Structure 1
């Protein structure tokens, strides 16, 4: 009796799933991504909280240098989340802008050309291109800014990285410092502790991250409006 009821429910589920149109299934899939409606506001609020936390520690906090290194890592995480959410909001768009971005990524990035799909895969997932592009992006490490920049360039022709030489070199060094903080508790490969990560350093990094986030947000909004 139990098995019969389970089978009936399974049949009902499968019937209902495939009764829906591809557009309905795509909408359901995108809704399930649970992307924030305004990633930039989330980014701004999170970045503000970083300095709220630092201010509450006070200038005479015994482990301020340790805290600053932890806050640097958190700032990278905040930007990475923003860059991921904003890129996903483009490629998961169900209108022409999203279709165009997905096509461009699949035809211009070598990593997408490695994917092989069978006719069975296509038959089982009517939105296979949408789902596979989203899956590939979710697998990326968004602190690899140079690779993320290629995604944005190929998807919507946006250059997300700073172009001023001073900013470029500062960002490259900051990326290495993040690696030191995450993998060696703040020490370089030579065993030297990064001692220059202080409030001034974090403020400059925050300013650069904000410029990048606003550039990306403006570019995404423009791309989504271009239908």
Structure 2
């Protein structure tokens, strides 16, 4: 599930009364957290704009249970929101993109481990103890990206190789279960269903760990978040990676992040490695 955001927001300054307009394409939405609740995970999406006159503006959206918009909130501080964006959960089919033609590697685990060792060597040889050192931050970002690639490639391989797992996704996942096809469409394309499942899995944002946990559970019967040694640290790493990639190492308040010491980056790499190893063991045990 993704977030749609349309239109223009108009906000009146609390002191001057001047009205400012913000376009929807200025917002960068991302999943910033997820809590386990009675009916599964609650996923929190957020977009933050640092406006030169209005300061920090925040739009938040909560998905709970999966596929259902539970609550959304706009925070403009001391200012007045005259007109807001039209935003919410996008239930439409994912748009095709170049990733659909991506060839999934046969052994995502081996690729992840190769990345872990190479980035570890790079950090050891060229990293610094300073928490704001650029190379440290780049290695950290790559480590989280390697986790996302492993999660996506592994799930894709397992689902495409297991008709039962694919059928569970079709039956139980909210987006896929709502897909409708005519007999004419099915007769013209014998691989239509498989292609739609592949497109859906390729469109998933695999840094949204709460959502990925649901997909793994439905398809493979594996709750990946239960395999995390430190779930809070894992979610924090995803948020920090977002700040590195989208804010050049600054948090949403404009503060430079200086946590990326060699020790912190290596500890995070080790934590992610154990997490991936636990997932790999659980996935492999399904076929043993």
Please, what TM-score do these two structures have when normalized by structure 1?
0.75
Contact 2:104/2:153, CA 8 A, preserved across alignment: yes
Deviation at 1:87, TM superposition (A): 0.5
Deviation at 1:188, TM superposition (A): 0.7
* Corresponding residue number in structure 2 for 1:133: 197
Partner Cα separation in structure 1 for residue 195 and residue 244 of structure 2: 34
* Corresponding residue number in structure 2 for 1:3: none
* Corresponding residue number in structure 1 for 2:179: 115
Pairing 1:85–2:171 present:
no
Deviation at 1:39, TM superposition (A): 1.6
- Provide the secondary structure at the position in 1 that maps to 2:152: helix
Pairing 1:35–2:98 present:
no
Partner Cα separation in structure 2 for residue 188 and residue 149 of structure 1: 26
Partner Cα separation in structure 1 for residue 235 and residue 103 of structure 2: 32
Contact 1:180/1:187, CA 8 A, preserved across alignment: yes
Greater strand share, structure number? 2
For residues 115-157 of structure 1, the C-alpha deviation after alignment (integer angstroms, 9 at most, x for no partner) is: 2222222112212222211110001111111111111011011
- 1:63-212 to structure 2, matched below 5 A, reads 65-93=133-161, 98-162=162-226, 167-212=230-275
Pairing 1:221–2:277 present:
no
Change (3 A) 1:125 1:216: farther
For residues 56-82 of structure 1, the C-alpha deviation after alignment (integer angstroms, 9 at most, x for no partner) is: 32548x996111111111111111111
How much is the aligned-residue C-alpha RMSD, in angstroms? 2.2
Unaligned runs of 5+ in 2: 1-100
Contact 1:187/1:193, CA 8 A, preserved across alignment: yes
Partner Cα separation in structure 2 for residue 162 and residue 46 of structure 1: 24
Matched pairs, number: 188
* Corresponding residue number in structure 2 for 1:51: 120
Change (3 A) 1:203 1:58: closer
Change (3 A) 1:163 1:156: closer
- Provide the secondary structure at the position in 1 that maps to 2:234: helix
Change (3 A) 1:191 1:58: closer
Partner Cα separation in structure 2 for residue 66 and residue 141 of structure 1: 25
Greater helix share, structure number? 1
Partner Cα separation in structure 2 for residue 57 and residue 215 of structure 1: 29
- Provide the secondary structure at the position in 2 that maps to 1:174: helix
Larger Rg: 1
Partner Cα separation in structure 2 for residue 186 and residue 132 of structure 1: 37
